[in-house]
Amino acid sequence: RKRVAGGLPYGWEQETDENGQVYFVDHINKRTTYLDPRLAFTVEDNPVKPTTRQKYDGNSTAMEILQGRDLSGKVVVITGANSGIGFETAKSLALHGAYVILACRNTSRGNDAVQRILGEWHKAKVEAMTLDLASLQSVQHFAEAFKSKNVPLHILICNAAVFGAPWGLTEDGLEATFQVNHLGHFYLVQLLEDVLRRSSPARVVVVSSESHRFTEIKDSSGKLDFSLLSPSKKEYWAMLAYNRSKLCNILFSNELNRRLSPHGVTSNSVHPGNMIYSSIHRNWWVYTLLFTLARPFTKSMVSE
């Protein structure tokens, strides 16, 4: 015995005709039907709960993972959401009913990303706001602007990052990779912590990397070496700077979860996978070349 469960697939709506009969509208493909599209996803009345390994694998898409989820009423902030993993995450959450804010350094690109999502579903609740993690003042302005909306915050995804960037200092006098990848997010979470607590159950997701394993931030005596976090130009190596920032992400997420989970706010750090092709390599032609050579063996974020 099977039954229909979960919400309608994204882009679908349920309507009633003049005779009181229910029908379904597919806004993506511009068609209507009296057949419930969820019949394609019927479930057993007494199913055996599958393991995560059984449900999802390397071929799974964000849309498949969220299939049947109704995120209406949930408010989500995603940094660096105008491209790559951030955009795919924002799109998937918005198409399942969440109100998604794309926190982007480039406002124009952020607005373009919003229009791309609205092009898939015109009723999606999505907007772009300016956030430059290389400026602590910009982080503060973003937090103030978000709070002025008087909405909850159920999910904060710290996704934005730079990789392979040349050495440079931010307006705050800190090495740019460290500030953009870690410190800016750290400050953002601190500024929004009160909203997260009031919105519990809520969660913070920090996008880190497996490359955190290939570095160290301690000196020879085992103490934290602050000079490694924001190194001088002479001591700078782009790959090491990225690895250190990703290690900081994980340490931060673990401690944040320890402090806030008793208040209904969880925090997790995630590794997005080694075999995903994105634009994170754009800062140096060598990395671009390597990513291009590896592309035939990577997972695309665009449906073929």
Active site residues: 242
User: What one-character-per-residue DSSP string does 234-297 give?
Assistant: TT--HHHHHHHHHHHHHHHHHHHHHHHGGGTEEEEEE---SSB--STTTT-HHHHHHHHHHGGG
Q: Write the DSSP symbol of residue 148.
A: T
Rama region for 6: left / alpha / beta (φ>0; ψ in -120 to 50; rest): left
Rama region for 31: left / alpha / beta (φ>0; ψ in -120 to 50; rest): beta
Q: Write the DSSP symbol of residue 79.
A: E
State which H helix or E strand residue 147 sits in.
Answer: helix 136-147
Asked if residue 183 lies in contact with residue 174, where contact means CB atoms within 8 angstroms, the answer is yes
Angle at 274 (CA atoms; ends 239, 80), nearest 5 degrees = 70
Can you read off the two tokens belonging to residue 258?
A: 């320890």
- How many Cα atoms occupy the beta-carbon half-sphere of 99 within 13 Å? 9
- How many Cα atoms occupy the beta-carbon half-sphere of 298 within 13 Å? 17
288 vs 131, 185, 277, 295, CA distance in Å? Answer: 26, 26, 11, 10
The alpha carbon of residue 226 and the mean position of all alpha carbons in its chain are separated, in whole angstroms, by 28
The alpha carbon of residue 105 and the mean position of all alpha carbons in its chain are separated, in whole angstroms, by 15
